[in-house]
């Protein structure tokens, strides 16, 4: 996936309703995965994190790949 293209779509309000209502957006974290399934599993896991865990991850502190 082209991260720069996708980020630009979000900035223009063309990517999703969620980000369109919260412009401007800022990219604070990025991970690459070997395939789409692995990326989707990681995204699901990140959505279960509380705010403290998410901020820790953004600051560069490693968190478990699974809970």
Q: Residue by residue, what is the 3-state secondary structure of the chain?
A: CCHHHHHHHHHCCCCCHHHHCCCCCCCCCCCCCCCHHHHHHHHHHHHHCCHHHHHHHHCCCCCCCCC
Asked if residue 44 and residue 57 are part of one domain, the reply reads: yes
Q: Examine the domain organization and report whether 53 and 36 are in the same domain.
A: yes
Q: Are 63 and 35 contained in the same domain?
A: yes
| Residues 55 and 42 reside in one and the same domain | yes
Q: So what's the pLDDT on residue 36?
A: 93
Structural domain of residue 46, as residue ranges? 31-67
Question: What pLDDT, on the 0 to 100 scale, is given for residue 66?
Answer: 59
- Give the per-residue pLDDT at 2: 86
Q: CA 43, CA 21: separation in Å to the nearest integer? A: 21
pLDDT beneath 70, residues of the chain: 63-67
Mean pLDDT of the chain: 88
Q: Quote the number of domains for the chain.
A: 2
- Residues 21 and 39 occupy one common structural domain: no
Pair 18, 39 in one domain = no
- Do residues 18 and 37 both lie within one domain? no
Does pTM top 0.85 for this prediction?
Answer: no
């Amino acid at each position: 996936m082209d991260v720069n293209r996708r980020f630009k779509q979000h900035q223009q309000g063309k990517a999703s309703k969620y980000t369109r209502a919260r412009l401007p957006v800022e990219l604070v974290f990025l991970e690459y995965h070997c395939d789409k399934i692995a990326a989707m599993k990681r995204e699901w896991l990140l959505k279960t994190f509380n705010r403290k865990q998410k901020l820790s991850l953004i600051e560069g502190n490693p968190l478990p790949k699974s809970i």
